[in-house]
Amino acid sequence: MRGVRALVLTGFGINCEEEMAAAYRLAGAEADIVHLKDVFSGKACLFDYDILNFPGGFSFGDDLGAGRVLANRLKYKQCATGESFFEQLQRYIAEGKIIIGICNGFQALVTLGLLPGLAPEIQQEVALVSNDSGKFEDRWCHCVVPKYCTSPLLPKGALFDFPVRHGEGKLWVPHEETRELIIRKGLIALQYCTQEGGITEEYPHNPNGAWMSCAALTDPTGQVLGMMPHPEAYLSFYNHPQWPQRLREEPTAKDEGEGLSLFKHIVEHVRATLHTAVIT
């Protein structure tokens, strides 16, 4: 059986591609870093990969809003196949493949309307807007996966420490109907919390003022995942700013960072899916 393959996009200001590719390689998958222009031209094919990744960064400098220019480029760009890139993304999801966006990548997926993906006709339903603090937040936060999350890409109930690095990370959901559907369908995939795992909207635990302390969303298929924190920045135990204290408290702690454990979970899920597809 072939291995899991991850495509990590780069270009136009994306700047976390190396860390994201390293995360997949350490998690046991193959990972290729490919410029978006090479995907548009047909030099690289999305459908050769199991997981498509939009890493964090500052696409187009974020000068016109979080991920908006990148999303418009993705939505309307015609590819060498004659399809728009957005049409390819829709077909990619229909084939059961995985799409992950982190930070700026999450912002692009929201603007494209792929998250939360509730409307019959794909359109933007929520937004990621300026932090309530009025400043760029660059620090570590506690996050928990709610037990009602329907995506298999995250381990339910898991508690993580991840860094955030954003000025526009507040999830804003303007319509009550959308809020109710997100909750009812279990689409909140990660929430900011206290060190003990208690959900709170209070600053600084919630670094941006997001509705429901939401740090990540999934779509109804569970295949599309977007998050503001950066798990790819915590691949080693020693990435954590409090690693000396943690090591004293737990001398036998693994060298593995919590972000790497998340990527391993994703890769194992995809590997199991591939194995099932081969058997059937």
Tell me the pairing of strands 51-54 and 214-218. Answer: unpaired
DSSP lists the bridge partners of residue 170 as: 129
pLDDT of residue 121: 87
pLDDT digits (tens, 9 = 90+) for 168-213: 999 999 999 999 999 999 999 999 999 999 999 999 999 999 999 9
Please report which helix (H) or strand (E) contains residue 185, including its range: none
Q: Is 78 helix (H, G, I), strand (E, B) or coil?
A: strand
Phi, psi (deg, nearest 5) at residue 156: -60, 135
Is residue 4 classed exposed, middle or buried when 0-12, 13-18 and 19+ CB atoms within 10 A define those classes? Answer: buried
148 pLDDT more than 70: yes
Token couple for 23:
């995360």
pLDDT digits (tens, 9 = 90+) for 71-129: 888 888 899 989 999 999 999 999 999 999 999 999 999 999 999 999 888 999 999 99
**Distance set, CA 108 to CA 80, 81, 95, 122 (Å):** 22, 23, 21, 14
pLDDT of residue 266: 98
CATH code (residue 180): 3.40.50.880
Cα-based torsion angle of the residue sequence 61, 66, 206, 8 in order, rounded to the nearest 10 degrees: -80
What is the chain's mean pLDDT, rounded? 93
The string of DSSP codes covering 38-68 is HHHTTSS-GGG-SEEEE--B-GGGGTTSTTH
Compute how many other C-beta atoms are within 10 angstroms of the C-beta atom of residue 42: 10
- Name the nearest CA neighbour of 40 among 92, 76, 15: 76
> Residue range 27-45: average pLDDT?
96
Count how many domains the chain has. Answer: 1
DSSP code at position 256: B
Active site positions, annotated: 103, 230, 232
Contact 76, 38 (CB under 8 A): no
Is residue 158 classed exposed, middle or buried when 0-12, 13-18 and 19+ CB atoms within 10 A define those classes? Answer: middle
Alpha carbon distance 235, 258 (integer Å): 7
Can you give the C-alpha Rg of the chain in angstroms?
Answer: 18
Confidence bin at 164 (pLDDT 50/70/90):
very high
**Domain coverage including residue 118:** 5-279
Contact 225, 151 (CB under 8 A): yes
Contact 118, 125 (CB under 8 A): yes
